[in-house]
Amino acid sequence: MRFRLTLFCFVFFLTGSFVFANTLPGKKEIDSINNLPFDYKIANTSKTIKLTLENVEKARKIKYLKGVADGYFSLGLMYYYQGKYDKNTLYMLKAIRIYEQQNDIASLVKVYGDYGYQLKRRSMPQAVAYMNRAIRLGEEQKMKGELRAVYDNYGVLKEMQMDLDSALYFYDKALKFKEADKDELGIPYSLNKIAMVKIMQKKFAEAKQLFDSAYAIRVKMDDKIGMAENLNFYGHYYKAIGNTVEAIANFTKALELSKKHDYKNLTVENYQVLSELYEGNKEYEKALIHYKNHVRYKDSIQNLELRTKQAELDIEYESEKKEKKILLQKTSLAQKNLWLLGAVALLIISVLMGYLFFNRQKMKNKQMLRENELKEALQLIETQNQLQEQRLLISRDLHDNIGAQLTFIISSLDNLKYGFTIEDEKLNSRLSGISTFTRNTIMELRDTIWAMNKDEIAFSDLKTRIANFIESAKTASHGIQFDFEIDAGIPDAVTFSSLKGINLYRVIQEAINNSIKYAEATHITVKIEKEGAGFIIRISDNGKGFDSKTPTFGNGINNMKKRITEVGGMLSIHTEINNGTEIKIQFPEK
């Protein structure tokens, strides 16, 4: 009894072993099994491995060595995709030995090339060696058809080694073969590979031209899937050159096409990259929407895989039941084995479903965590924006209203002094004092507005403000020497919060003013030093000092201490009568 081989029929696989056990196969039947389509082998690996092992034994019985070698080659490929690399190596080397004995050049070019490519993540030197053998043999025999795939795969190896010039060389060789054969389906793939290497080399203009050529061919062929892929490549190109707007536009077009034509893997990638781009633009709402869609499509692919696997296992189970009925007529032992096999199949289904359910639940938890993080980020940004708007509004009001009114007072006082002859020196002095006080108030107001308009104050800004104040103090005071010293190890890029910055500035102002007004000092020094994870500011003078044990501190010193405490620091005063005063401020960097 002999059945005709049918490629995609499950009945053949379930009954094939019985047929071959009772009849001697011919070479055509052996070849037909060895030459099953690649997609079918990978989709039904377990069944095909069993069938191929039996097929190898049949070929060995009739001493058909090419059939044996082709079977080994097929087994090596399937074990590679199962991740069983020891068996992959075993069968690929067995196939190579037979092909070498038979001097089968065409098969050697293919097996050297495929095995070399499979080794790329296990042993790059071996991968390169095998692929070089394939290239040498193929070029000697001028086997353009076989070399086309070898050149493409060897280009991938060179790209992995970051040998980009070599990668381009081999991609270009594959492209020339495709162009000679007018392979309009294959040409765009090579053009896109070359373009991606050009992007890695920062040769963006050349990459753009190649993408344009590939896209034009796919538009001409009305290849919607290919057009979607090329729009995705355009998105990566614009992302690489920093043009986020165009990147988003092209990924969006690619997304529309991939969804329309049910290209789920590309749809998942487009949603993922768009989510990252929107997050980079701080458009968190759009980022969240695209991330949700990314997860939803990814889940749908996994669900499809689960349903496909379930259907396959169900078919296997039903087939086993049919086989069991046939074998019941032969032996009771076979009956027990088949029942056991059915139980194992059910166990596999249960374990697989449990694993997939657990995996899906884990992904949902990650998705919820990501959504919560995005929501919190959006809320934080909204709060910060509102606070910033309020600060800006208050600072504008201070500047436009109070600042203008103070300026008007100064102008009025100056007009009064110069518009009228005031002979009363006391009154004239009083008016000058009010004018000076008002000008100082405007300066204080400007300092406050400066701090309010910033979320953070750089050390360089604070240093400049202190230096300007000391210069003003020099101008207003006579007979006092001022020194401003800064530790060279403090970088200008150090930043403080606006509260910390303005509090430090006000305390230094108050300390200098106290030295000028009360200490009768001739030398005032301000020194800023780095100490561990914090800073120390010292304001010292050589004035008359005071007895710190006897008097209670006034409001000025108490306010200074309060300001420093607010920013997590500590203020201490060391003074002795006739030996000057030093105010020491210690505070952390953050």
Min mean pLDDT across 54-63, 88-97, 299-308, 577-586 is at 299-308
Q: Which residue has the higher pLDDT, 474 or 92?
A: 92
Min mean pLDDT across 91-105, 146-160, 206-220, 515-529 is at 146-160
pLDDT score recorded for residue 8: 38
Mean per-residue pLDDT over the chain, rounded: 80
Buried b (16+ CB within 10 A) or exposed e, 421-447: eeeeeeeeeebeeebeebeeeeeebeb
Residues in the chain: 590
pLDDT at residue 327 above 60? no
pLDDT score recorded for residue 143: 86
Min mean pLDDT across 141-145, 396-400, 523-527 is at 396-400
pLDDT tens figures, 446-468: 666 665 566 788 888 888 888 98
pLDDT score recorded for residue 390: 60
pLDDT tens figures, 14-46: 434 433 333 345 788 899 888 888 767 776 778
pLDDT tens figures, 332-382: 565 667 778 888 888 899 888 888 888 888 888 888 888 888 878 777 767
Residues 229 and 266: beta-carbon distance below 8 Å: yes
Counting residues of the chain whose pLDDT is more than 90, the rounded percentage is 27
pLDDT tens figures, 369-396: 888 888 787 777 676 566 556 655 565 5
- Distance between CA atoms of 362 and 355, rounded to whole angstroms? 11
Residues 474 and 524: beta-carbon distance below 8 Å: no
Q: What is the mean pLDDT of residues 290-302?
A: 77
Q: What is the mean pLDDT of residues 72-89?
A: 87
Question: How buried is 199 (Cβ within 10 angstroms: 0-12 exposed, 13-18 middle, 19+ buried)?
Answer: buried
Q: What is the domain partition of the chain in residue ranges?
A: 456-588
Residues 398 and 442: beta-carbon distance below 8 Å: no
pLDDT score recorded for residue 318: 45
558 phi, psi to nearest 5 deg:
-60, -40
pLDDT score recorded for residue 205: 92
Q: What is the mean pLDDT of residues 190-219?
A: 91
Residues 7 and 40: beta-carbon distance below 8 Å: yes
pLDDT tens figures, 537-570: 999 999 998 877 665 556 778 889 999 999 899 9
Min mean pLDDT across 228-237, 304-313, 350-359, 490-499 is at 304-313
| pLDDT band with cut points at 50, 70 and 90 for residue 184 | confident
pLDDT score recorded for residue 447: 65
pLDDT score recorded for residue 310: 41
pLDDT score recorded for residue 401: 58
pLDDT at residue 209 above 80? yes
pLDDT score recorded for residue 366: 86
* Cα torsion angle, 319, 325, 329, 332, sign: positive
| pLDDT band with cut points at 50, 70 and 90 for residue 90 | very high
Counting residues of the chain whose pLDDT is more than 70, the rounded percentage is 76
Choose the CATH number for 456-588 among 3.30.565.10, 3.40.50.620, 3.20.20.140, 3.40.47.10: 3.30.565.10
pLDDT score recorded for residue 309: 46
Q: What is the mean pLDDT of residues 114-129?
A: 89
Helices of type H across 201-331: 204-220, 224-240, 244-260, 264-280, 284-328
Task: List the Cα angle 507/429/514 in 5-degree steps.
Answer: 20
Q: Which residue has the higher pLDDT, 407 or 102?
A: 102
pLDDT score recorded for residue 15: 38
pLDDT score recorded for residue 19: 39
Q: Which residue has the higher pLDDT, 396 or 107?
A: 107
Residues 566 and 494: beta-carbon distance below 8 Å: no
pLDDT tens figures, 509-520: 889 988 888 888
